[in-house]
A and B are shown apart, each in its own frame.
Chain A
Amino acid sequence: MTKITFVQPDGRSQTVSARVGDSVMQTALAHSIDGIFAECGGAMMCATCHCYVEDARTGQASQGEEDLLDCAEDEVRPSSRLSCQIKVTEDLDGLVVHLPVAVD
């Protein structure tokens, strides 16, 4: 089991057990984490699973992911990722994922 901590913009955090092989997005949905909607179900088509990750273990966003991040609702930062594109591995134990502020 890999532990992942989701941190809300107001500082609230929740550490959950992620299943290896799932995406970070699927992990968030399985634990009803606020701020991850994932409307397209992980097809990299909607940018509603946007998050911030400062952790080299997760690698780089692909070009397709970058294109989608340009369409994200919230502020895009260098650490922006689509959580559907980060696969949970045993190596990612202790990963910290920050959720964006909802812009309305």
Chain B
Amino acid sequence: MTVEEQVKQIIMEQLNVTEEECVPEAKFIDDLGADSLDLVELIMAMEDHFGLEISDDELAQISTIQDVIDYIASRQ
């Protein structure tokens, strides 16, 4: 699986959303119905899956699915 596919898979599981909803420009809070706790849990799941640590400052920069994909790609 590509990074993009893996990220989408985690998002679908964590936020209980469909693949169709997981478009790159989808915003977690505005489009996917996540709250701040959901977002933190999502990031924790990403950290576990990709074996990295995302700081609070970096977390603040993340609002769309594409942001996550870009961030993880840049760290690999």
A and B bound?
Answer: no
